[in-house]
C-alpha cells in the first residue's frame, strides 16, 4: 500500500486555509480590539490629567509622567512579546500579557501616591503592548499579499482612530466615576480581551515556530534590521506617530487651560478629529498602492505642519487651531495606515520581531515627545514639534521613493545588493 504524503508547502497552505476559515468575523473584531488596546491604555485618562494633578497633590509634569511611562512600557513590552510569540506562538504570550494587565490596572486604581501610580502605569504599558504587537503578527500569520495589506490597513486605521477617540470614552467614564472610573473601564476591556485570547486558536503553525533559542532570536533581529526599506518604513511610522503623540500630550492643556473649553467639550473635539482620521485611514486603502497613499499623506503633513506651526506662534484663535489640527491628523491617519502595512508586508517571515520593532520605535518616540511638549509655552512647543516630525516623515518618504531601494523577486533589496 502506498501512502502519499503532502509536500511541506501544501501542508502549510492547508493549515493557513483552516486558520482563515476559523470565524473570520471574530478574528477581525478581535484584531481590531487588540490594535486599539494600546491607545486606550495610554490615552483614555487624558481628560482627567488636571483632575489627577489635584487628587495626588502634585505637578502637571508628574501626572504626565504616567503617560510617558506607559509609552515606555508599550515600547519595551513589544520587544519582549514579539520575539516570544515567534518562538512559542501567539496565544500563550497574549494570555500572559492580558493577565498581567489586569493586575497592573488594579494597582493603578488603588495607588495612594503619584509614584505608585506612575510605576503601575509602566507595568500596565508593558502588559498592554502584548495586544498591540500580536495584532499585527496574527494578521501576518493568517493573510498574505494584498489581503494582508487590507487587513493591516484596517488594523492601522482602528489604531489611529483609537488614539484620538480614547479620550472621548475617558471623558464619559470620568463623568460617571472620576479618574478611577476610567481605570475600572480599562479593567473590563482587559478582562474581555483575556477571554478572547483564551478562545482564540493558535495562528502560527508549529513548523514556523523558531525552535533554536538564542541563535534564532538574534538571527531574526539581524535579518529584520538588515532590511533597509523596512527601517525606512519604521521611521515613517514612528515620526507619524510622534505627530499624533504631540497632539495627545499637548491638546488637553492647550484646549482646556489656554482656550478654556470644558472637559466634555474637549472630548467632543477629539471625537471630531477621530472622524477625520477614520475617513483618511479608510482612504489609504483606496489608493492604487500603499506607497502612493504614503506620498500624498507625507506631502500633506508637511504643508499643514508649516501653517499650524506659524499659526500657533502668532497666537491664533481656537477654531483656526482646531481646523489645522483636524487637517494634520487627517494626513497623519493615512500615513500611519500606509507605513504600518508596508513595514509588515516587507517582513512576513519574522512577523513577531518586525511588529515588535515597528511598535517599539513608535512608542519610544512617543515617550520622548510627550514631556518635550510641556516645555515652555506649550502652544509654541507643540507647533514646532508638529513641524519637525512632519518634515522628518516627508524626508523618509522621499528617500524611500528615490530609487535607491528597489523591489526584486519578492524581496526588498538595495541596488548594491
CATH number, residue 245: 1.20.1250.20
In a domain, 326, yes or no: yes
In a domain, 255, yes or no: yes
Q: What angle do CA 106, 111, 115 make, to 5 degrees?
A: 125
| Residue 412 CA: distances (Å) to CA of 146, 225, 336 | 16, 12, 20
Which helix (H) or strand (E) segment is 412 a member of?
A: strand 411-414
Q: What angle do CA 288, 359, 388 make, to 5 degrees?
A: 75
| Residue 131 CA: distances (Å) to CA of 37, 50, 251, 262 | 7, 29, 26, 32
Contact criterion met (CB below 8 Å) for 364 and 72: yes
CA dist 1 and 202 (Å) reads: 34
Identify the DSSP state of 90: S
In a domain, 12, yes or no: no
In a domain, 7, yes or no: no
Which DSSP string do the residues of 339-370 spell out, in sequence order?
HHHHHHHTTGGGHHHHHHHHHHHHHHHHHHHH
Which helix (H) or strand (E) segment is 405 a member of?
A: strand 405-408
Instruction: Give residue 102's pLDDT.
Output: 95
Instruction: Give residue 252's pLDDT.
Output: 82
All three cell numbers of 175, joined, read 463623568
Instruction: Give residue 107's pLDDT.
Output: 94
In a domain, 139, yes or no: yes
Instruction: Give residue 290's pLDDT.
Output: 82
CA dist 249 and 65 (Å) reads: 11
In a domain, 202, yes or no: yes
- pLDDT string in tens for the chain (417-residue length): 434 344 444 444 444 444 444 467 788 888 888 888 877 887 788 788 888 888 888 888 788 888 888 888 888 888 888 888 888 888 899 999 999 999 999 999 999 899 999 999 999 999 988 888 888 888 878 876 567 767 776 776 677 667 667 777 888 888 888 889 999 999 999 999 999 989 888 877 666 666 555 555 566 778 888 888 889 889 998 899 889 888 878 888 888 888 888 877 887 887 788 777 777 877 877 788 888 889 999 999 999 999 999 999 998 999 999 999 999 999 998 898 888 888 887 777 777 888 888 878 877 777 678 778 878 888 899 999 999 999 999 999 988 877 544 443 333 333 333
CA dist 214 and 186 (Å) reads: 35
| Residue 28 CA: distances (Å) to CA of 21, 68, 190 | 12, 30, 18
In a domain, 119, yes or no: yes
CA quadruple 365, 370, 372, 377: dihedral sign: positive
Instruction: Give residue 365's pLDDT.
Output: 78
In a domain, 3, yes or no: no
CA dist 99 and 43 (Å) reads: 21
φ and ψ of 261, to 5 deg: -85, 160
CB neighbours (10 Å) of residue 21? 8
pTM of the model: 0.70
Cα 66 to chain centroid, rounded: 18
What domain range is 65 assigned to? 20-414
Instruction: Give residue 414's pLDDT.
Output: 36
All three cell numbers of 278, joined, read 477614520
All three cell numbers of 301, joined, read 503633513
Instruction: Give residue 96's pLDDT.
Output: 93
Split into its structural domains, the chain has a count of 1
Three-state SS across 280-319?
HHHHHCCCCCHHHHHHHHHHHHHHHHHHHHHHHHCCCCHH
Amino acid at each position: 500500500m502506498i501512502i502519499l504524503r503532502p509536500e511541506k508547502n501544501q501542508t502549510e497552505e492547508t493549515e493557513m486555509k483552516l486558520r482563515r476559515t476559523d470565524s473570520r468575523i471574530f478574528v477581525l473584531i478581535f484584531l481590531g480590539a487588540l490594535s486599539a488596546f494600546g491607545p486606550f491604555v495610554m490615552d483614555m485618562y487624558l481628560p482627567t490629567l488636571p483632575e489627577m494633578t489635584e487628587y495626588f497633590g502634585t505637578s502637571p509634569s508628574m501626572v504626565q509622567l504616567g503617560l510617558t511611562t506607559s509609552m515606555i512600557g508599550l515600547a519595551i513590552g513589544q520587544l519582549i512579546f514579539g520575539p516570544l510569540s515567534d518562538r512559542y506562538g501567539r496565544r500563550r504570550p497574549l494570555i500572559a500579557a492580558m493577565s498581567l494587565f489586569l493586575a497592573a490596572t488594579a494597582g493603578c486604581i488603588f495607588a495612594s501616591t503619584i509614584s505608585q501610580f506612575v510605576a503601575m502605569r509602566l507595568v500596565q504599558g508593558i502588559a498592554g503592548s502584548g495586544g498591540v504587537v500580536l495584532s499585527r503578527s496574527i494578521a501576518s500569520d493568517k493573510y498574505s499579499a494584498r489581503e494582508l495589506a487590507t487587513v493591516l490597513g484596517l488594523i492601522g486605521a482602528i489604531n489611529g482612530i483609537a488614539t484620538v477617540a480614547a479620550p472621548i470614552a475617558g471623558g464619559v467614564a470620568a463623568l460617571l466615576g472620576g479618574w478611577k472610573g476610567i481605570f475600572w473601564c480599562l479593567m473590563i476591556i482587559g478582562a474581555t480581551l483575556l477571554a478572547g485570547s483564551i478562545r482564540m486558536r493558535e495562528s502560527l503553525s508549529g513548523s514556523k515556530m523558531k525552535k533554536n533559542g538564542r541563535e534564532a532570536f538574534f538571527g531574526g533581529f539581524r535579518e529584520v534590521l538588515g532590511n533597509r526599506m523596512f527601517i525606512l518604513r519604521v521611521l515613517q511610522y514612528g515620526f507619524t506617530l510622534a505627530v499624533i503623540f504631540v497632539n495627545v500630550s499637548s491638546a488637553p492643556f492647550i484646549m482646556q487651560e489656554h482656550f478654556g473649553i470644558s472637559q466634555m467639550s474637549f472630548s467632543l473635539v477629539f471625537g471630531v478629529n477621530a472622524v477625520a482620521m477614520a475617513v483618511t485611514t479608510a482612504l489609504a486603502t483606496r489608493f492604487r498602492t500603499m506607497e502612493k497613499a504614503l506620498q500624498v499623506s507625507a506631502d500633506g503633513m508637511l504643508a499643514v505642519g508649516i501653517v499650524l506651526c506659524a499659526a500657533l506662534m502668532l497666537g491664533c484663535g481656537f477654531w483656526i487651531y482646531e481646523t489645522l489640527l483636524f487637517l494634520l491628523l487627517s494626513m497623519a491617519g493615512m500615513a500611519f495606515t500606509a507605513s504600518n502595512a508596508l513595514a509588515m508586508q516587507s517582513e512576513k517571515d519574522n512577523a513577531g520581531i518586525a511588529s515588535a520593532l515597528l511598535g517599539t520605535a513608535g512608542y519610544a518616540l512617543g515617550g520622548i515627545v510627550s514631556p518635550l511638549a510641556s516645555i515652555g509655552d506649550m502652544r509654541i512647543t507643540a507647533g514646532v514639534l508638529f513641524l519637525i516630525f512632519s518634515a522628518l516623515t516627508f524626508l523618509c518618504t522621499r528617500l524611500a521613493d528615490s530609487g535607491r531601494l528597489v523591489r526584486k523577486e519578492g524581496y526588498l533589496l538595495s541596488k548594491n545588493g
